[in-house]
Amino acid sequence: MDRIRIRGGSTLNGTIPISGAKNAALPLMIAALLTDDTLTLENVPHLADVEQLIRILGNHGVDYSVDGKRLNQRASGGRTIHFTARAIVDTTAPYDLVSKMRASFWVIGPLLARMGVAKVSLPGGCAIGTRPVDLFIEGLKALGTEIDIENGYIVAKAKDGLIGNRYVFPKVSVGATHVMMMAASLAKGETVLENAAREPEIVDLAACLNAMGARIEGAGSSTVTIQGVPALAGARHRVLPDRIETGTYAMAVAMTGGDVTLQGTDGRLLDTALRALTEAGAEVSEAEGGIRVRRAPGRLNPVNVETQPFPGFPTDLQAQFMALMTRSSGVSQITETIFENRFMHVQELARLGARISLSGQMARVEGVEKLAGADVMATDLRASVSLVIAALAAEGETTVHRVYHLDRGFERLEEKLTACGADVERISG
């Protein structure tokens, strides 16, 4: 099993290209199920989750092809992948596939919309807490779906097609908003989604669906209106930059000091996180084709943050920011409001010398003058990269084990950090 060895103490200087967003690419890929034409996606990151979803879509009959290299193409430019669901050959998403990636559950919306039936395994547990599918079920019921749960599977039927309706999400859910937008695109009549998620990835999916012929208005606000259409066509769409990767590398620069341009990204996608970073003592400015992050040597300022749905502080940057605060000059408080079990990185950060105490969903982080390298274990995707950030500033050598978590969401992480002066090495086996 691969692991990553990091020798801390180096500042980061140079340019880091930002990949396409995993959290946008996955629902965009699933949208290919809505049409028998070809959906072409540009800037698709090379990640374990993307490869797994390709296998899942293949089970439903989706063919795909990947463009080869082009003259003068940047290695960081992402892949162009063509998805064609000429015929849906299987409307069942089995447990052995869905259990490996929760986002694969989202196929239930397009399968229902196009085929009138779907049998999808319940996704099971999750390392960062339970993420129930009741919002998906109730939303699809509002569109006229009959749903039963049989032997761990959701069996959904809409024999006469989906019917547009008004649905108010009891709580904000990015995944449920994705699914409802896709399903309602082929429903009869108008669907109005209220208390919808506002994340940039929602806006990106809506833009792609509209390019395919959908009629969606209001994406990015809490009310989204969809006028159903009889069929969708193919389209070409570019995946937006990964705001979580952007924030992660920005925090790595703030942690180590240095001067790095994050290329191919947009600071507006994570304004709240960048403001917190500025409060901590980093300097963030616009740069041509991206943003520039700089910080002089010295201790960081303590900053309190609370995770919230967009446009609030992202839960997917909570672990990284906690790692950053371990080197602050005071005490900071980090409150997690999205997931109930997203502090599993705390014990591993403590192995590096961090002082963190937990009280329910709040972590109290007392900054220390130095961290020391140690062996640590990744527990989930975002927790794993928080350990990398801490290790970059730790004295001595740190080895991060179980880095397959990193491979799910960070493309060529060690290569990007090494190019900016970090001492990072992947060890296979």
- Give 75-84 pLDDT, tens digit per residue: 556 899 999 9
Give yes or no: 208 in active site: no
On the question of pLDDT at 189 being above 50, the answer is: yes
Please name the helix (run of DSSP H) or strand (run of DSSP E) that holds residue 260, with its range, or none: strand 258-263
Instruction: State the average pLDDT over residues 202-221.
Output: 98
On the question of pLDDT at 381 being above 90, the answer is: no
Whether the Cβ atoms of residue 303 and residue 280 lie closer than 8 Å to each other: yes
Domain 24-238's class? alpha beta
Structure tokens, 353? 């010398």
Per annotation, catalytic residue among 66, 87, 89, 126: 126
Q: Which residues of 114-152 are buried (b: 16+ CB within 10 A; e: fewer)?
A: bebbbbbbebeeeebeeeebebbbbbbebbbbebeeeee
Query: Which residue type does 286 have?
Result: E
Output the pLDDT for position 76. 57
Output the pLDDT for position 317. 96
Output the pLDDT for position 315. 94
- Residue 339 binned pLDDT confidence (cut-offs 50, 70, 90): confident
Output the pLDDT for position 87. 96
- Residue 99 binned pLDDT confidence (cut-offs 50, 70, 90): confident
The Cα 52–Cα 34 span in angstroms is 19
Asked if omega into 200 is within 30° of 0 (cis), the reply is no
Higher local confidence (pLDDT), 103 or 417: 417
Asked if 3-16+242-427 and 24-238 have one fold, the answer is: yes
Output the pLDDT for position 124. 58
Q: What is the mean pLDDT of the chain?
A: 94
Please, which residues bridge with residue 331 across strands? 366
Binding-site annotation: residue ranges for UDP-N-acetyl-alpha-D-glucosamine = 102, 131-135, 171-174, 316, 338
The Cα 44–Cα 65 span in angstroms is 12
On the question of pLDDT at 126 being above 50, the answer is: no
Annotated domain spans of the chain: 3-16+242-427, 24-238
| Cα–Cα distances in angstroms (integers) from residue 265 to residues 19, 80, 149, 199, 236, in the given order | 8, 18, 42, 16, 20
Q: Which CATH superfamily is domain 3-16+242-427 in?
A: Enolpyruvate transferase domain (3.65.10.10)
State the DSSP code for 144: T
389-423 pLDDT, tens digit each: 999 999 999 999 998 888 888 999 999 999 999 99
* Phi, psi (rounded to 5 degrees) for 215: -125, 85
- Residue 125 binned pLDDT confidence (cut-offs 50, 70, 90): very low
Whether the Cβ atoms of residue 121 and residue 93 lie closer than 8 Å to each other: yes
On the question of pLDDT at 287 being above 70, the answer is: yes
Whether the Cβ atoms of residue 97 and residue 60 lie closer than 8 Å to each other: no
- Residue 424 binned pLDDT confidence (cut-offs 50, 70, 90): very high
138-150 pLDDT, tens digit each: 999 999 999 999 9
45-76 pLDDT, tens digit each: 999 999 999 999 999 999 999 998 776 666 55
- Residue 128 binned pLDDT confidence (cut-offs 50, 70, 90): very low
Instruction: State the average pLDDT over residues 313-331.
Output: 97
Output the pLDDT for position 291. 98
Torsion angle in degrees (nearest 10) through CA of 317, 323, 327, 332 = 60
Q: What is the CA radius of gyration of the chain?
A: 22
Is 298 exposed, middle or buried (CB count within 10 Å of its CB: 0-12, 13-18, 19+)? exposed
Output the pLDDT for position 131. 52
